[in-house]
Structure 1
Amino acid sequence: MRVDTALATVAATQPHQRLGEVVHRYLDALDPDGPEPDPTEGRRLTIARHADGSITGRFDLDAVGGEKVQAALESIVQASRPKGDLRTRAQQQADALVQLADNALASGGLPFLRRVKPHVIVTMHLADLTDPARGPGAAETGFGATLSAARARWVACDATLTRLVLNPDGLPLDVGREQRIVPPHLRKAVERRDRHCVFAGCGAPTHWCDVHHLLEWINDGETSLDNSALLCERHHTKVHHGFRVDRDDTAPPGSRWRTYRPDGTEILIHPRM
C-alpha cells in the first residue's frame, strides 16, 4: 500500500518522466540481484532513403549506448557553437552527427569494405564537373542518391578524383593490369558497371561483393574489366561450386547478366519492379 500511495503521489504531482524513474527504482529495489540483460540485444537503427536522396531514421539504444552517442555528439555541438548561432537543438545535433561521420571517415581508422577504406563515392561526367551550371540530377552517390552538379562539385572540392573513360554506351573501358589481385581503380570500374551482385535475383550492394574472375586467373584469365563480375560472398561461393554467370553485352542495360545452374539450365527471375 505504501508503494501504491507513493506512486500515486508522484503521478499526481510530478512530470510523467519522473514517474517512470521512480517505478524503475522500485523494480530495482525488489530484485537488486536479478539478471542484467544484454544491452546490445535491444539496440535498433533503421534508415530510410527518400526519392531525393535524403534519409530519415530512428534508433533505440540502451542507457550506456545512448550515453556514448550523446557524449560524442555533444562534444561536437559544444566545439562548434559560433556566436549568434540560431539553429535549433535538433539542427545542431544533426550537423554534429554528420561531422562525427566525416571525422571517422577522414581519420582512416574505420574497417575496410572489401579491401578499400570506406569513403563517399560520387560519380559524374567530366563535363558536369567543369561546367559552372547546376545540372540537376548530374551525379550519383555510392548508395544510389542523385545529386546536382553543384552539390557534387562541393563534395569534390576536398576529394580524390578518379578518372574513368567510358565507351559510347556509358560503360567503363578496361582499366586493369595483368595481376591476380584486383586493384582499387579496377574495382571502382566494376562497381560502376555492375552496381550490385550480378547473380540472378540478388541485389546485394557493392560493399558486400567480391570481384570474381569469369575465367579463373590460374587458367590464364586476365584481371580486367571484361573478365570481372561483382558477386556477394554467398553467390561467389556458389559460382565456385558449379554455378556460372555470363555477361550478354547484346542485352539491354539491367539484363546483361545471365546465371546458370551446374546442370546448364538458366536461372530466370522476373524483372524487379
Structure 2
Amino acid sequence: MGELQSAVDALAAEDLTHLFGPALLERLGPLLVLQNRIAAEVARTVRQCELTGAAEHDGLKSMAAWLRGHAHLSTAEAARVVRTGRALEHLPATAAAFADGALTAAQVATIAPIAGEAERAAAEAQEVDLGAVDQALTEVAQGPAHERLGQAVHHYLEALDPDGVEPDPTEGRRLSIARHADGSVSGRFDLDAVGGEKVQAAIESIVQANRPLGDDRTRAQQNADALVQLCDNQLAAGSLPTLRTVKPHVVLGLDLDDAVDQSTGPGAARTGFGAQVSAARARWLACDGSISRIVMSPDGVPLHLGRDHRVVTPGLRKAVVRRDQSCVFAGCGAPHWWCDVHHLVHWLHGGETSLANSGLLCERHHTKVHHGFRVQRDPGGRWRTWRPDGTEILIGTPLLV
C-alpha cells in the first residue's frame, strides 16, 4: 500500500500545464483503467471485511455503516459497494474483467442484481447457466453496445419470472418539489417505463417544435423550458380541474406603486404559492392576464374588491393571432398557442390594449423583451427586433469577421 500511495503522490506532483491533447489522453487512459482496478479491490476488500465482521472492530454493525462514517460515502453509494462485493463471489467473469480494469464500478453495479439470492435460486430452478449469463453480460459491457447493459440485465431478470404479477405502475411513481428561499424550485421524479415514455413524448414534442435560430440552450434547459410550456398550455386551455372553486392559474399580488414604477423592484410581488418575484417579472405576466383591483386599509384589511378584468380580450387575441401567426421575435417562430400577447407600450404606462400595440411573444422572448430587447412592427408590417445595445437582429445576413 505504501508503494501505491507513493505512485499516486508522484502522479499528483506531475506538471500537466505543458501537456496538450494527445499526451493528456495517453495519460488519462491508463488512469481510468487503474481507477477501475482500485474500485475492484475496494469491493473485494469490503466483502472480506463483511465476512470477518471487521466493522465490529470500530464498534459498527455493518460495513455499509462503516463506509458511511469512515469513508463519507452516501447511503446509496455504501450499499452499492457492499452489494458489488457480494455479487462478485458469484460472477467470476465480471470479477475478472473488473479486476483487469475493463469494467467500471457502475457497470458492475448494473450486473450485480443477477447474483442476488432470489435471482440465483430462480436461475437454478430453471436450469439457467448463471456462468454463461455472467460471461455474456461482461461481453456486452465491454462491447459497442455497452450503453444497453442495463436493458440486457433487465430483460434477463424479467425472463426469470415470466409469470410474475404485473406490477401496478402507479405504485413506484414519485414527484417531489422543493421551494428555495429565492422562490425557485427543484424537484425529482421517478416514473415507470410507460409513464416516463408519456412524459418524454410530451416534452420532446415541444423541444422539437421550438428550435429558433441561434438557440444556445443546453438540452437540460430545453427540457425545462418545455416542461414549463407544457404546463402553460394546459393552464391556458382551461381544461384542468378547479382549484378551490377557480380554474388553476398563476396568481400574483403586487402593490400599485411597484406596478407603475419602471425599476426592477426585486421581491415586490408574491405568487399564490408563496414565492417572491420582482415587479419587472410581475409586469411581464400582466401583459396578458386578468387584473383585479383590491383596495386595502392601512392595517391591511381589504376595503374594496374590484371585478376581474381581462387585459387582452379573446377577440383581440384572435386578431393578433391571425396577423402574427407565431412569435414575432427574430429567428423564433414558436406557434401562437405558446405565446402571450405582449403590449409594445405596457398598459401600466398608458399603452393601448389594441391590435396596433400588440404582438405575439413566446415565454422565452417575452422575458427577453421585458429585459432590454425590443420588438417593433414597421409601417410595412414587418416585425423587427433590437438587442439591448440598440443593434438590430438580422436574419440571413452574413456575419462580419
Report TM bin, short chain: 0.5 to 0.7
| Distance of aligned partners of 1:85 and 1:64 in 2 relative to their CA distance in 1, 3 Å threshold | same
**Residue 41 (structure 1) aligned with residue 41 (structure 2):** no
SS at match of 1:26: helix
> Of Structure 1 and Structure 2, which has the larger fraction of its residues in helix?
2
Equivalent position of 1:267 in the other structure: none
Task: Identify the residue that residue 102 of structure 1 maps to in structure 2.
Answer: 232
Once the two structures are superposed, residues 243-263 of structure 1 have per-residue CA deviations (whole angstroms, 9 ceiling, x without a partner) of: xxxxxxxxxxxxxxxxxxxxx
Q: Equivalents in 2 of 1:175, 1:94: separation in Å?
A: 36
Counterpart residue number, 1:155: 285
Give distance in 2, aligned partners of 1:56 and 1:173: 38
Change (3 A) 1:149 1:175: closer
In the alignment, structure 1 residue 143 sits paired with structure 2 residue 266 = no
**Structure 2 stretches lacking a partner, 5+ long:** 1-130, 309-401
Quick one: distance in 1 between partners of 2:135 and 2:232? 52
Q: What residue identity is the alignment partner of 2:222?
A: Q
TM-score (norm 2): 0.42
Structure 1 stretches lacking a partner, 5+ long = 177-183, 186-273
Instruction: State the match for 1:215 in structure 2.
Output: none
Deviation digits for residues 203-241 of structure 1 (CA, Å, limit 9, x no counterpart): xxxxxxxxxxxxxxxxxxxxxxxxxxxxxxxxxxxxxxx
The 1:104/1:28 distance shift into structure 2, 3 A limit, reads same
Query: Post-superposition shift, 1:171?
Result: 2.4
Instruction: Give the whole-Å Cα distance in 2 for the aligned partners of 1:11 and 1:134.
Output: 54
- Shift of residue 16 of structure 1? 5.4
Query: How many residue pairs are counted as aligned between the two chains?
Result: 178
Q: What's the CA shift string for 1:21-62, capped at 9, x where partnerless? A: 111111222222211111111011111111111111111111
RCO greater where, 1 or 2, for CA within 8 Å and sep 6 or more? 1
**Which amino acid letter does the alignment assign opposite residue 294 of structure 2?**
L
1:168 pairs, out of 298, 319, 332, with: 298
3-state secondary structure, aligned to 1:59 = strand
Measure the CA separation in 2 of the matches of 1:24 and 1:137.
49
Alignment partner of 1:121 is 2:230:
no
Q: Check 1:19–1:51 CA distance in 2 against 1; reply closer, same or farther (3 A cut).
A: same
Q: Equivalents in 2 of 1:76, 1:120: separation in Å?
A: 21
* Overall identity of the aligned pairs, in %: 69
In the superposition, the TM-score normalised over structure 1's length comes to 0.62
1:105 alignment partner, SS class: helix
Report the residue type matching 2:189 in the other structure: F
What letter matches 2:180 in structure 1? Answer: H
Q: Matches of 2:278 and 2:214 in 1, distance apart?
A: 30
The question of 1:132 aligning with 2:262 is answered yes
Specify the alignment match of 2:14 in structure 1.
none
Q: Which residue of 2 aligns with 1:61?
A: 191
Whether contact under 8 Å (2:176, 2:188) holds in the other structure is yes
AA aligned opposite 2:196: G
Cα separation, 1, equivalents of 2:278 and 2:159? 58
Q: Which has the larger radius of gyration?
A: 2
2:60 matched residue in structure 1: none
Shift of 1:115: 1.2
Provide, for residues 5-28 of structure 1, a one-character-per-residue CA deviation record: whole Å limited to 9, x for no partner.
Answer: 212222333565422111111122
Q: Partner of 1:86 in structure 2?
A: 216
Q: Using the alignment, how far apart are the partners of 1:8 and 1:136 within structure 2?
A: 56
The answer for the alignment partner of 2:4 in structure 1 is none
Backbone CA RMSD of aligned residues: 1.8
1 CA distance for matches of 2:293 and 2:159? 65
* Alpha-carbon displacement from aligned partner over 1:174-228 (angstroms, at most 9, x marks no partner): 549xxxxxxx97xxxxxxxxxxxxxxxxxxxxxxxxxxxxxxxxxxxxxxxxxxx
8 Å contact from structure 2 (residues 294, 304) kept in 1: no
Distance 1:174 1:163 in 2: 8
Shift of 1:81: 0.5
Measured against aligned partners, the alpha-carbon deviations of 1:85-106 in whole angstroms (never above 9, x if no partner) come to 1111011111101111100000
Q: Matched residues in 1 for 2:269 and 2:134: separation?
A: 62
Output the amino acid matched with 2:155.
Answer: R
Tell me the SS of whatever aligns to 2:303.
coil
Instruction: Describe the SS at the equivalent of 1:47.
Output: strand
> What SS does the corresponding residue of 1:52 show, helix, strand or coil?
coil
Structure 2 letter corresponding to 1:138:
A
Seen in structure 2, the aligned counterparts of structure 1 residues 6 and 160 have a Cα distance that, compared at 3 Å, is same
